[in-house]
Amino acid sequence: MNERRTIGQILISAGRITEDDVKRALELQRDNGGYFGEALVASGVVNQNELEWGLASQFDLPYVFPDADSIDLEAAGLVSADWALANLTLPILRTDRTIKVLVDSPLKVDPIRELEERTGLDVDLALASPASIRDMIRDVFGRIGAAEQEGLVPVGLSEMLNEAFRVDSARFGISVRGAKAYGWWDDPGAAHRQRRPLSGGWSADLDRLLIPGPSEMTVRSLRTEWSADLNRGGVVTSVIVRYLADESGAEYAFEPRSNDAAPDDRFGEAPPEVASEVLALARAGDARFAVRVPAGELGPAILPHLPELLLDPSWRSIYVFAGRGAGGHETFSLRLHDDPGRWSDDVTSLRAFHFDALSVDVGDDASAAASLLDVAGVVFLLWSGSDEAVAEMGVRWALIIEERAEGGLSWSLTPLHG
């Protein structure tokens, strides 16, 4: 393996300096410290550009005089202007596997490692002078900002939200100034925040998708915070909503919430005798259960998790609810259309997926409940109506869950006699 040549050897072989120049620079380095290359520049033997060319040759890197018009704006947009200036490091070209990065020194290990980890791409280096890189950063990010302001087609709110969830954004929101509104989201794969102008009608869409919505929660309030369910085409995510407003506009910020506690940690394990009987009935095909829970929050909270608590974990399940049902953000779920006349479309689409288990909260609407009972082989129906009404639908068992005075839950399974 060939040894890497020194800066002095490279510049001597290029005819730029002599052995006497090297001796003078070494004496200056001994007296003042620092790097040999810095001593060469300080002694006036070479200029900064010549030194950087020598460094590039030493590390077998191209030394470039970049043209701002030739830089890939998508590659540059992988970092923020602040990060690029702080590190004097600028991505200039991206392919499927690599990213070419402009640096002022081949020894910049930390920024290069950060880019590799963030993008998953191999980094190829090119060397340029610090002044050239600063010029490129100012030019490139000026053009990126102009493109963001002028070249983006407005998108609908749903499209913006879907993009935020696609990249698993931990924070997203809406900025309103006068008649203009922008959606934004933090992208873990990029160093800067993504922004898109929103098309008209976003406010009504937000009030429809968010439960409870801004029209209900921001009345006569310039600053507030609340928990809500964000429904994107039946996929429900619990979010924390923060709202701030003044006479010039408003800001909405959303943070998805996750509940990492397992259902059996939150509700306790079902008694083995109840769980084994429910599973036996499920395997036998006689598996329609009216879930009886005293009025309160327990029913909507535990219902989505009953398949996980009582059945084989590999069974595919879905939670279906109407109105402002709770718990949909914690399980695979579908919120039925606001218009009950259109529920038949939702139910028809569900049948095609052949789910193993279904949890249902449609209140005591017997016709709606009956229409859902054949969607899956096992059905847990939250029900507070009469035994006779639910038995007429073909439900033969009542699963009764109550809170004990001393804490915990009591479970029982009894046959229905309608």
Domain spans of the chain, in order of start: 7-58, 68-150, 157-256, 263-415
The pLDDT tens digits of the residues spanning 140-170 come to 877 766 555 554 678 889 889 988 888 888 8
Instruction: Check if CATH label 3.40.50.2300 holds for domain 157-256.
Output: no
β-bridge pairing 355-361 and 376-382: parallel
Residue with token string 């028809």:
348
Q: What is the pLDDT of residue 55?
A: 59
CB 81 within 8 A of CB 105: no
Name the CATH superfamily housing domain 263-415: P-loop containing nucleotide triphosphate hydrolases (3.40.50.300)
Tell me if 68-150 shares its fold with 263-415.
no
- Residue 135 has what pLDDT? 83
Q: Which residues of the chain have pLDDT under 70?
A: 1-11, 13-16, 34-35, 37, 47-69, 144-152, 189-192, 233-234, 258-265, 323-330, 418
Q: Partners of 290 in the beta sheet? A: 381, 398
CATH of 68-150, one of 3.10.290.20, 1.10.287.70, 3.30.390.30, 3.30.300.160: 3.30.300.160
Question: What is the pTM for the complete model shown?
Answer: 0.43
Q: What pLDDT was estimated at residue 255? A: 92
Sheet order of strands, 210-211 included: 194-197, 180-185, 172-177, 249-256, 235-246, 223-232, 210-211
